[in-house]
Amino acid sequence: MRSVRSTMWTLIAMTVVTVGIGVIVCLSVSNSWRTLSLGDRLTFDPTGLSLKGLLFSQLIVGVLGVLIMSAEYSTGTIRSTLAAVPNRRRVLATKAAVFAAVSLVAGELLSFGAFFAGQSLLASPAPHAILSQPGVLRAVVGGGLVLMILGLLAMGIATIIRHSAGAITTYIGAILVIPIIVQTLPSSISRPIMKFMPLQITNVMTSVRPGLNLGTAFSPWIGFTVLCGYAAISLGVAGWLMVRRDA
């Protein structure tokens, strides 16, 4: 993570996107509050609004998670790594632990930064949120947790595929493309499936008002547990294949 430029550029991009989009949308709503309909005002979620940038940061942290593994396979340096540490599961576990720590710290800092920046721009009469209100701290903390777990999911996918472009495509497909396809199905089919989609889970996790999320959905922590399960399966399959395949 320290020896390649992509790590720093990715973290910078996450900062700009997470905080920047939160600032833009909060400022826009604050200026147009008087023109909003009554329905929009009643369902207004200032916390979720300031965390809108996390949607795009989910894609960026996935790219970083992919590069943590695929960069070594593309350059062939994975052979040196495995020669130095023959226990391949230990290599994967160590990489996952280091990446989880970095992405968690970065994710929480960005989530809290976007929240405070966004709320500071919501001028009266538009309501703003504070951390002591019910569900607000959970949503802000959840933003950082979601980025960490999705990054680990991407890392597992990269270890399985061992190719940057293929892994990034697969990750983006799972996060964005599949939910779009599911939403085109009849509601009797799409609604039960959508609650298992990472995008729907992260929307609930980073929102205070569940009514803002379309369709049925898991509660925030149940959904987060499902998301952790996806990451665990991804890394589990990656570890199994890593032991059985040549470098």
Which pLDDT score, from 0 to 100, does residue 43 have?
80
Q: Which two tokens stand for residue 185?
A: 């199905």
Most distant CA atoms of the chain, gap in Å = 64
Residue 19 and residue 60: Cα distance in Å, rounded? 14
**In this predicted structure, what is the pLDDT of residue 211?**
53
Q: How confident is the model at residue 178, as a pLDDT?
A: 92
**Model pTM?**
0.91
The DSSP line for 105-143 is HHHHHHHHHHHHHHHHH--TTS----TTSTTHHHHHHHH
Q: What is the dihedral of CA 22, 165, 66, 218, to 10 degrees?
A: 60
Rounded CA-CA distance 130/47 in Å is 8
Q: What is the chain's pLDDT, residue by residue, as a tens digit (247 residues)?
A: 777 788 889 999 999 999 999 999 988 888 888 888 887 787 888 999 999 999 999 999 999 999 999 888 888 888 998 899 999 999 999 999 999 999 999 999 999 999 999 998 887 788 888 999 999 999 999 999 999 999 999 999 999 999 999 999 999 999 999 999 998 888 888 888 888 999 889 999 998 875 544 456 788 999 999 999 999 999 999 999 998 888 6
According to the model, what pLDDT value does residue 23 have? 92
User: Would you state the pLDDT for residue 210?
Assistant: 58
